[in-house]
Amino acid sequence: MVKEGQPELGTVSIRVGFHSGPVVSSVVGNLNPRFCLFGDTVNTSSRMESTSERNRIHLTEAAAKSLTKQAPDAKLSCRGIVSIKGKGEMKTFWLEGFQDPEVEVGEGSHPSSKEHSHTMLDATPNPPGLDMYAAM
């Protein structure tokens, strides 16, 4: 819902793609400068978004590992192997929510989420300074 208490404003549906890896950033433009991110991480995140489903958060295996390390209460389900343009076959995951009832994903709690169990991944440490990037 756009605003609680005002359902007449409607709802918003989004797809989210999430990947973890290195990026290069820069301010681009003289007349209208913009901060931009570049690199394979941004492209992969965009591919996760384009292969996601409405109101779902689609993660690469690298992002899932980083997320479970940084937020151990995250509930993930394995989507399986997905063919990603320019990347080939990738093992991907859905973020189903969080075990802590204080943290919500919003409408991201998908009707099929009750069928999935919490998927634990080996928390391989990322290089220092590595963060995550999400495309919407």
Just list the catalytic residues. Answer: 47, 85
Please state, in angstroms and as integers, the Cα–Cα distance from residue 31 to each residue in 24, 25, 36, 38, 94, following that order.
22, 18, 15, 20, 40
Q: How far apart are CA 49 and CA 69, in angstroms?
A: 22
For residue 9, report the phi and psi dihedrals to the nearest 5 degrees: -75, -15
Q: Enumerate the β-bridge partners of residue 134.
A: 18
Q: Which tokens sit at 37? A: 């991110």
Do β-strands 88-98 and 34-38 pair in parallel, antiparallel, or remain unpaired?
A: unpaired
